[in-house]
Amino acid sequence: MTKSALITGITGQDGAYLAKLLLDKGYKVHGLVARRSSDSRWRLREMGVEADIVYLDGDMADACSVQRAVIKSAPDEVYNLAAQSFVAASWDQPVTTGIVDGLGVTHLLEAIRQFSPHTRFYQASTSEMFGLIQAEQQDENTPFYPRSPYGVAKLYGHWITVNYRESFNLHASSGILFNHESPLRGIEFVTRKVTDAAARIKQGKQQTLALGNIDAKRDWGFAGDYVEAMWLMLQQDKPDDYVVATGVTTTVREMCRIAFDHVGLNYRDYVKIDPAFFRPAEVEVLLGNPAKAQRVLGWKPKTDLDTLIRMMMDADMQRVAKE
């Protein structure tokens, strides 16, 4: 029997990788897509899957459209990836972020509870919930301390998922994913901002790169590896929460060095510190412990940071050359 999946946020980085993974496994893939005035399907084209998806109009802020998407797709599995996912923007749009990333999760869980209670549910939780870290290495038992409206909204989404699991016996799991990147990463996130700029500087199309806190540390992995963990969570007999990370943390500064090195440049010659890119409250360091995902799901990251940044640099060098 062909399985049906509904992915919200299918036009985003993870949505594109997950759609490809599920299509390769033989799923019928539906995508909830919010109306935009310009093209939002470029990542699905890059992955070669644009024509293989059933698109359903809807917005996480609109409970009726979310409900309709659940009824129409009759999903065995729902992956809730839709979000206003840029931390810095969440201070400028705290209410929208709260509605989409927080209440939106309830719209989806309610639709599943009422119309499709057998459906398995994945919530895209985040290491940003750890924020001001309460343990050197964060795992499923580490207390949360979010530091942005995004982190706070995601914490609501996380707990409402746990609550619907416990209240209504839904197969609802949360993946607490640490930063994951790829050539499809949005240009506003620091890794892509750096690889794009290094490619432009190398090709004489940009002179400098303005960044904020380059001493911040992140546990960076590859999005292609991380969507496999999402799928594995929904194949388990029991729903649960899992940290997905590499277990290695690196400064933004060192990530810059790797990117610029790859094209034979010294980042120190080009990176300028600009207070405009500092945040009202910073998450200084994140470092995940993926031991449970490894033990229960049999999941391990396959891509180290050096390989990941080189993959992104190669893609940006080619793209910038064609511009």
Closest to 49 (Cα-Cα) out of 20, 25, 29:
20
Give whichever of 202 and 217 is closer to ligand NAP, judged by the CB atom.
217
Interaction of residue 225 with ligand NAP, rule CB under 6 A = no
Sequential DSSP letters for 166-235: HHH--EEEEEEEPPEE-TTS-TTSHHHHHHHHHHHHHTTS---EEES-TT-EE--EEHHHHHHHHHHHHT
Give whichever of 107 and 158 is closer to ligand G4F, judged by the CB atom.
158
Interaction of residue 14 with ligand NAP, rule CB under 6 A = yes
Sequential DSSP letters for 107-136: HHHHHHHHH-TT-EEEEEEEGGGT-S-SSS
The residues, any chain, with a CB within 8 Å of residue 188's CB and separated by 6 or more, are 86, 88, 89
Which of 150, 156, 267, 270 does the annotation list as catalytic?
150
Binder among 216, 229, 233, 244 for ligand G4F (CB under 6 A): 216
Please provide residue 57's backbone torsions phi and psi, each rounded to the nearest 5 degrees: -70, 140
279 binds, among ligand NAP, ligand G4F, none (CB under 5 to 8 A by kind): ligand G4F
216 binds, among ligand G4F, ligand NAP, none (CB under 5 to 8 A by kind): ligand G4F
181 is catalytic: no
- Quick one: tokens of 27? 């799923």
14 binds, among ligand NAP, ligand G4F, none (CB under 5 to 8 A by kind): ligand NAP
267 is catalytic: no
The span of 28-36, 113-121, 125-133, 239-247 binding ligand G4F (CB under 6 A) equals 125-133
- Let me know: does 202 contact 317? Beta carbons within 8 Å: yes
Footprint of ligand G4F on 257-286 (CB under 6 A): 277, 279, 282-283, 286
128 is catalytic: yes
Interaction of residue 255 with ligand G4F, rule CB under 6 A = no
Closest to 171 (Cα-Cα) out of 297, 77, 243, 244:
77
Rule CB under 6 A: which residues touch ligand G4F?
Answer: 85, 87-88, 126-128, 178-179, 188-190, 193, 211-214, 216, 218, 252, 277, 279, 282-283, 286
Active-site residues, by number, are 126, 128, 150
